[in-house]
Structure 1
Amino acid sequence: MSATPAPEPARTLLLLVRHGQTPTTGTVLPGRAPGLHLSGLGHVQAERLADRLGGLTLDAVHSSPLERARETAAPTAARWGLEVLEDVGLTECDFGAWTGAALSDLARLPEWHAVQHTPSAFRFPGGEGFAEMQARMVGTLERLCRSHPGGAVVCVSHADPIKAAVAHYLATPLDLFQRITISPGSVSAVSLAEGRAPAVLMVNSTLEPLGGLRQA
């Protein structure tokens, strides 16, 4: 009599949400500096996110501790009767001395070429390296997967950490991660289970309803 095969580990649906737009989106590298809140459009994007997730059963809403991320997470958490759980592993990259600088000024620096073309070897002066950021973000997502086996979890973070995580799960070299676009208020979805290959279900979705993701 043949043995009954062990059941496969349950997959966890991780919804990677970039925070909504802020007054400085696209012009300044805000980093981890406190006090940056969503713009009016950002609040609209946060409300729209809660609408788009309708039809899913959410187990938890986790967020970067920064204000713009928590404000993005709040409408979804309220809609599902959940608490916004702050997780430092989802926070923005530490841009060190570049924090608060205008992107137009940074683009003139010789180091900017490394940021765009060889980020795996780049470390922000006084801050974090891209490889460290990717390892932190991936480690955080896999910890959340273990904490919510078979569940659906919203993870509100920032553009670069999400891009790096998506690159990892797509087996894309970190030096090519700048080719991935993660827009304000967008959702990227990854399905994870220990011992099984990850599945990237969508990247940078900004419009369509997402209620069918678990079934997909």
Structure 2
Amino acid sequence: MAKNHRKWFVAFATPFLGDDPIEVSAGLGDYAAEWLEHAPRMTVTEADPDRLLALKERFSANREVSIRELMLPSEITAEHSAAVSYNVLEHIEDDLGALQTMRSLVRPGGYVIIVVPAFPFAMGPADIATGHVRRYTRKTMREVLLAADLEIERLHYANSLGLIGYYVSTCLLRQKPGPGLMVKFYDSTVAPMTRFAEKFVTPPFGQSVIAIARRPA
């Protein structure tokens, strides 16, 4: 994964993790490994058996990490300080049910932190190949968060230049995302430049929607 991009997006969730966060669908654990520097303990989950095994191998020596299987949506309840989910909801038909599960995983007043891909017009072959069933706007993200009985604290787009590059490369040129010169250029130049600019100006569009919500206290 592009390191500068990952560190940028790690920072969106870091202030809201609290003392006992859970990551829903942690993949191979790249984000969790960074968040562990800011949380005393953490739970990571996966639905995919191969990724679950990879998580167990990666964090087997870390007593601060709990690993569990979790399929969304679920009736599970817990008392975590925050539930974090990056680029997951777009894969799930019942995204409202998934958000309700995340709400049930946190204590009253706990945070639900979501990152999803933005704008349906950017849905292309790469999205379909990776199992995306939708892309979001601020409006559609707001609607599903409120329907899940979550209080919205922050809701904005991020990575404006990334959206342009993604649309051109995957929708117009029909390229598949993956390691290569374009990704290296993006991570070394475009991502740091865009991150710096978006500290001062909130973009009206972006490659991702960032949502910080809370379970009502």
After TM superposition, is the score higher than 0.5?
A: no
TM-score band, normalised by the shorter chain? 0.3 to 0.5
The higher radius of gyration belongs to 1
Point out which structure has higher relative CO (alpha carbons under 8 A, 6+ apart): 1
Question: Whose helix proportion is higher, 1 or 2?
Answer: 2
Question: Whose strand proportion is higher, 1 or 2?
Answer: 2
